[in-house]
Structure 1
């Protein structure tokens, strides 16, 4: 009883496998066989990679090189078929009609690849019966078979690798069936089958390699985009943490001043005392909201500043000297230049300018070892200019997986303050970062500007 059940299960499994194979064969070769699937032109990136020496004016025509190649081969097959068709060699079949039946499928692979396979198979069968008294007696010299192999290879390259096996099975099943019907003995059929299989397997391997390479490129692109996005979010979180301290300081001053103001005025009117109390309550509520938001930001990285003093004030431009001493001790020669009259700036501006200089010098240490750096701070009317430039490296830099992401953070800080920034390589092989952060004019600034004028 158990053996009978096991046999039945085995038969059911084999039936399911056979049904799956036939279903897949039907989906690949029969369903929408003549659907319109045009071959797109080559991408500009591929043309630039393959033929970088090609003039720009010819690159738009080079995009259609695969189409032109297949069309040229189709024309050659057509001419060769017409030239080899002698009187009576096709048993009354018009030579031009047979030539078209053989050549057109090659061109049709550009638009309807699976349909081109069936049309080519028809040409192969017609050529075998009409071309000789012994059908398929010499497949290697059969024009229909030669073109059919080319068509199958192109179809595999254009669709998917598994079609190679499916078309090979259908082709040689048809060839074997017709051989049995005509009663001929085709000794070289196994040799031809192996030869054709090698070609199709090679085409399938090329197609699989192309798909794998495209997948790798897509994965790398998505990974790079995700890394850039994560870096940008981390930089924004860092900016939020830093600006919290700046804003919290001002809000604390407002709350303290609002609380102390009624005691500085004798016989304070009730309305004024109420207003000051309202101001203090709003300032305290704003501080609570800031702490709540900062808790959400820091929750993703609670130990981001574990090594730093949490009570230390945020750095400003006055802290640049200690930063320069730190990078000089690491081996970087830094020249600092300040132009204009230094003046107090908003804390957010000074903090962002300090971080831009810090990141620029860190990049010089990381990517240009042995190079000198120059930092320029320019106090000008309407804003602050920052420029960090370093020379070419004197020795090979260690590879850095996060290369270029520091620039994202600097650009984010500048854009947050409504400024502009450029970052690019210099002609001597170094790197330059230049930023301008606008600052609203104050009365003191206007006076200073008038004195300088």
Structure 2
């Protein structure tokens, strides 16, 4: 009884597998067999990588190279089928030309309707088979036997254009039809097995190429998405770092506003109640803003509890006045650096000072990391309307160690400059070094003086 149940379960499983295979065969080869599926042109990146020496206008047309190759192959098939055919008389000539056109249509149609091209090519094979049987007494088929080799080429193109499993499905249908025709016409089936094996090998190879291409495409998409996600995450981390650093700047100014609003009524005798109330409201709003700033800082604070171990969290944020200590630090690390300041140094808004210091710090760190043994030069220009920065290093004297975070420092510098409405460039120099140039605008001299006074 148990063996009978197991046998029934096995039969049901096999029936389900067979039903699923037939369903996939029907969906792939019969449902919407002549649906319009045009082959897209090659991507510009691939064309530029394969033929970078071609002019740009010709490279644009090179995107359609696979279409030109298939079209040229169809022309060759038509000429071959027409040449191999034989027969006399206008009727036979028309039949030969029509058959040659039918055979050549298979490869061409694969560009637009790949599954439909398979059925057209299979119909040409069946037609050639019946012609061979019908004219066996007159020397064989008048069509020359070009249909089946072309059919194999069409199946290969269809597999390369669609999905690998169509290789098995088209092979089964083709040789099932061939076996049925052989049995129906009473022909010799001796050549059928080796031909089936050879075609199977060709189609399996095409399916492997198609699977490899699809896997490669998915890997490229995954790597691209990973790189974009890593860049986005790095950008968010840099913005969080900038927000933490600017918190002290904004909190300082808000504290000054609160203190001045609290002290203002005591500097004036007989202060009107309305004015005292206004100052009290200003102080309350300033204190509330400070509370919100601390709350925001808690949101963007690093998840690492030891993020501020190396620095004193209560220490003031660095400015360009601390540049000498930074230069001495990198010099002690082995970097020869020269600093040049042009223009009249003047106090700038604290956010500008902090961002300028961080940009110089990051650029010198990159020089130490990526250009060991090179000299560096820091140029700070106090110009009308803003602050100019230029940090350039020469060619490294020895090989740099690989750095997993390459490019993230430049991303952070660019984010700081863009936050302040400035512009920045970072690129290799002609002599093999690297240059970072930035301009941070400052609104006007009056605003700078006010900002400098509040900072002091």
| TM-score class, shorter | over 0.9
- 2:412 aligned partner: 409
Distance 2:136 2:330 in 1: 88
Residue 443 of structure 1: CA displacement? 4.3
- 1:33 aligned partner: 33
Residue 235 of structure 1: CA displacement? 0.7
Question: What SS does the corresponding residue of 2:301 show, helix, strand or coil?
Answer: helix
Query: Structure 1 stretch 302-311 or stretch 191-200: which is displaced more?
Result: 302-311
Distance 2:356 2:448 in 1: 19
Distance 1:126 1:300 in 2: 74
Distance 1:48 1:193 in 2: 40
Residue 343 of structure 1: CA displacement? 0.7
Query: Structure 1 stretch 386-395 or stretch 112-121: which is displaced more?
Result: 386-395
Residues 1:100 and 2:70 aligned together: no
- 1:320 aligned partner: 323
Residue 177 of structure 1: CA displacement? 1.2
Residue deviations 1:398-444 (CA, integer Å, cap 9, x gap) = 23333222222111111111111111221112111111111122249
Residue 389 of structure 1: CA displacement? 1.0
Which of 240, 255, 264 lines up with 2:258 in the alignment?
Answer: 255
Distance 1:445 1:294 in 2: 26
Whether the 8 Å CA contact 1:128–1:144 is kept in 2: the answer is: no
Residues 1:209 and 2:209 aligned together: no
- 1:332 aligned partner: 335
- 2:115 aligned partner: 114
Q: Could you list the runs of 5+ residues in structure 1 that have no partner in the other structure?
A: 447-453
- 1:131 aligned partner: 132
Question: What SS does the corresponding residue of 1:385 show, helix, strand or coil?
Answer: strand
Distance 1:88 1:178 in 2: 28
Question: Could you tell me the TM-score, scaled by structure 2's length?
Answer: 0.92
Question: What SS does the corresponding residue of 1:418 show, helix, strand or coil?
Answer: coil
- 2:184 aligned partner: 181
Distance 1:33 1:234 in 2: 52
Distance 1:173 1:254 in 2: 90
Structure 1 segment 48-447 matched on structure 2, within 5 A = 48-87=48-87, 94-131=95-132, 142-298=145-301, 300-443=303-446
Residue 70 of structure 1: CA displacement? 0.7
Query: Structure 1 stretch 270-279 or stretch 283-292: which is displaced more?
Result: 270-279
Distance 2:136 2:228 in 1: 63
Question: What SS does the corresponding residue of 1:78 show, helix, strand or coil?
Answer: helix
- 2:11 aligned partner: 11
Residue 373 of structure 1: CA displacement? 1.2
Whether the 8 Å CA contact 2:349–2:448 is kept in 1: the answer is: no
Residue deviations 1:3-45 (CA, integer Å, cap 9, x gap) = 2222221111111111111111111111111111111111111
Residue 160 of structure 1: CA displacement? 0.8
- 1:451 aligned partner: none
Distance 2:151 2:447 in 1: 86
Query: Structure 1 stretch 101-110 or stretch 126-135: which is displaced more?
Result: 126-135
Residue 302 of structure 1: CA displacement? 4.3
Question: What SS does the corresponding residue of 1:115 show, helix, strand or coil?
Answer: helix
Residue 179 of structure 1: CA displacement? 0.9
Q: Could you list the runs of 5+ residues in structure 2 that have no partner in the other structure?
A: 450-456
Query: Structure 1 stretch 183-192 or stretch 64-73: which is displaced more?
Result: 183-192
Distance 1:46 1:283 in 2: 58
Distance 1:224 1:400 in 2: 16
Query: Structure 1 stretch 403-412 or stretch 153-162: which is displaced more?
Result: 403-412
The count of aligned residue pairs is: 442
Distance 2:178 2:24 in 1: 22
Whether the 8 Å CA contact 1:134–1:184 is kept in 2: the answer is: no
CA RMSD of aligned residues (A): 2.1
Distance 1:177 1:397 in 2: 70
Query: Structure 1 stretch 5-14 or stretch 150-159: which is displaced more?
Result: 5-14
Question: What SS does the corresponding residue of 2:159 show, helix, strand or coil?
Answer: helix
Residue deviations 1:333-363 (CA, integer Å, cap 9, x gap) = 1111100111110000000101111111122
Residue deviations 1:354-411 (CA, integer Å, cap 9, x gap) = 1111111122122222221111000011100011111222222223333222222111
Residue 101 of structure 1: CA displacement? 1.4
